[in-house]
Amino acid sequence: MTSTTTPASESNLTVRLASRPHGEPTAENFALALESTPSPGENEVLLRTIYLSLDPYMRGRMSEAESYAEPVPVGGVMEGGTVCEVIASKTDMVDVGDIVLAHTGWQQYAVASDKAVRRLDPTRAPISTALGVLGMPGFTAYAGLLLIGAPRPSETVVVAAAAGPVGSAVGQIAQLKGARAVGIAGGPEKVAYVKNELGFEVALDHTAPDFVDSLAAATPEGIDVYFENVGGKVFDAVLPRMNEFGRIPVCGLVSQYNATSLPDGPDRVPMLMSRILTKSLTVRGFIQREFVRAHYRDFLEDVRGWLADGKIRYREDVVEGLENAPAAFLGMLRGENFGKLVVQVGDDPTTPPPATTASS
């Protein structure tokens, strides 16, 4: 049955791309605007954003450089995954009150096709996890590690940004498969979290002056799988330690996203290619969506089970208010977040209100 309700507000706060950054983005690259709330057409729904995901890939969407997806146009709403409540529906497929996963970007309200949303079950897991451990970052870790890295029992898996949403899942899944996980993070607090709360066998601080030596000591038998999502000096330290037939899934290069030119120094491509050849390395870039059709159901079943059994843990870094999304995004690119970065844009109807105590 088609059903509708009246939006809670006639104003729709949006965050648009004001200009393309050159190098590191700044607050001036974003523009906040109050606009009218759209209305759904046939087979569409009006969504109220509850949570917005902030992810490193969005830096690439701000640029016109060649990539695997079209850039956000100047003046366009910044893109991003969202968890939303359906507040108006003109379709029999989705009902008012449903909680759905969508991709409606940095705005309070949006219209989407009924085919572009997926219902979430709030009784299975907190709805924000659909943007993290049970969403795109979690699936990136699952697919990249298991389908490309393919770790075998007792092999050594190294992952950078190990305190983040992708890296934390990579290491935990690796150990569930019988491999030993070595996590690399930035700073003592994140290193302690990776080691003590996530249960990695080893956690290293890439900011420490003895990082290269520590990595060598932690990988005495070399590295079989390196899950690459950072690049830069971490990759430089890992590459010489890769074992024969090692695998390197590449899902991101966050250390390079703000670069405006090639790095200084000699051309190191010949050295890289020589190492790939002499060690018979597999280096495979991937975008998680290529595996969705064949493997997403398995991912949800496996990770939901591991979460329920307490075998996988996750951390969220929640920022309140859409107006704070630009600053949070800029901080993320500098490594200031701790866990999956999520903006709470509106009230979460699935979260019970805090308990109150009657006064006497």
pLDDT of residue 198: 97
Residue 142: strand, helix, or coil: helix
208 and 61 in a single domain? The answer is: no
| pLDDT score, position 258 | 66
Residues 302 and 327 in one domain: no
- CATH number of the domain encompassing residue 250: 3.40.50.720
CA distance 82 to 343: 9
pLDDT tens digits along 166-184: 999 999 999 999 999 999 9
Query: Cα–Cα distance between 132 and 169 in angstroms, integer?
Result: 10
Do 215 and 326 fall into the same domain?
no
Residue type, 331: G
Task: State the pLDDT at residue 359.
Answer: 44
Please indicate, yes or no, if residue 112 is contained in any of the structural domains: yes
**Residues facing 11 on adjacent strands:** 36
Pick from 137, 150, 136: nearest CA to 178 = 150
Other beta carbons within 10 Å of 109: 27
Neighbours of 202 (CB within 10 A): 21
123: domain CATH number is 3.90.180.10
Q: Quick check: 80 and 137 in contact, CB under 8 A?
A: no
The answer to whether residue 1 is domain-embedded is no
Q: List pLDDT tens digits, range 26-56.
A: 999 999 999 999 999 999 999 999 999 999 9
**Does a structural domain hold residue 256?**
yes
The domain total for the chain is: 2
Q: Domain range spanning residue 99?
A: 11-132+315-344
Q: Is residue 184 part of a domain?
A: yes
Q: What are phi and psi of 45, to 5 degrees?
A: -130, 150
- Residue 127 and residue 271 in one domain: no
Helix axis angle, 292-308 to 165-176, nearest 10°: 80
Residues of the chain scoring pLDDT < 70? 1-10, 255-262, 353-360
Could you tell me if 225 and 300 lie in one domain?
A: yes
Count of other CB atoms within 10 angstroms of residue 295: 17
Instruction: Give CA–CA dist 48/348, Å, rounded.
Output: 10
Gap between the Cα atoms of 162 and 172, Å rounded? 10
Residues 96 and 180 in one domain: no
One domain for residues 202 and 120: no
341 beta partners: 317
**Within a domain: residue 360?**
no
Find where tokens 């899902």 sit: 251
Q: Are residues 69 and 142 in the same domain?
A: no
Residues whose CB is less than 8 angstroms from the CB of residue 121 and which lie 6 or more positions away in sequence, other chains included: none
Tell me, what's the pLDDT at 197? Answer: 96
Q: Is 354 domain-assigned? A: no
pLDDT at 5: 52
pLDDT attached to residue 335: 87
Phi, then psi, of 327 in degrees rounded to 5: -65, -40
The tokens for 40 are 């759904």
- The closest of 263, 332, 250, 337 to 25, measured between CA atoms, is 332
Q: What is the C-alpha to C-alpha distance for residues 154 and 176, in angstroms, rounded to an integer? A: 11
Q: How many CB atoms lie within 10 A of CB 164?
A: 33
Q: Are 89 and 211 within one domain?
A: no
**How high is the pLDDT of residue 226?**
98
Residue whose pair of structure tokens reads 């590449």 in the numeric block = 250
Phi-psi group of 150: left, alpha or beta (phi > 0 → left; psi -120 to 50 → alpha; rest → beta): left
Asked whether residue 6 is domain-assigned, the answer is: no
Q: How far apart are the first and last CA of the chain?
A: 48
Any idea of the CA torsion for 303, 304, 305, 310, to the nearest 10 degrees? 90
Q: Looking at the domain assignment, is residue 349 inside a domain?
A: no
